């Protein structure tokens, strides 16, 4: 099941400070256009899809090679500087807000 709503928030890593780069599915996002910074989180106005949990039947059919999983699943990555080093936080989990 894919959840899609109007607004999503993504928590920032504790040591992330601006300026940073935000990517959704590998595409660079623009602050003020694609997202806003609210405290220690990013707020997206466009829907982000997250693949739901897979049930036992789906896992078994994947294990047996009968089906794959090709559901929509957006990934959010943030590249930033901390302590003079470049860091990347990958696959951050958005949540509906």
- Joined together, the tokens standing for residue 43 give 């707020």
3-state secondary structure of 24: strand
Share of residues in the chain with pLDDT > 70 (%): 67
- What is the DSSP pairing of strand 21-24 with strand 50-51? unpaired
**11 bridge partner residues:** 41
Distance CA 68, CA 64 (A): 10
Domain boundaries defined on the chain: 2-96
Report the pLDDT averaged over residues 33-56: 79
Tell me, what DSSP letter sits at residue 6? S
Mean pLDDT over each residue of the chain, to the nearest integer: 80
Does the domain formed by 2-96 have CATH 2.60.40? yes
């Amino acid at each position: 099941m894919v959840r899609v709503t109007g607004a999503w928030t993504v928590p920032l890593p504790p040591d992330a400070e601006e300026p940073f780069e935000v990517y959704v599915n590998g595409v660079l996002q623009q602050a003020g256009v694609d997202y806003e910074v609210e405290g220690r989180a990013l707020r997206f106005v466009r829907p982000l899809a997250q693949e739901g949990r897979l049930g036992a039947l789906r896992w078994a059919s994947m294990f047996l090679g009968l089906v794959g999983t090709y559901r929509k699943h957006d990934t959010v990555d943030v590249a930033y500087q901390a302590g003079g080093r470049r860091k990347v936080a990958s696959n951050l989990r958005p949540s509906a807000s």
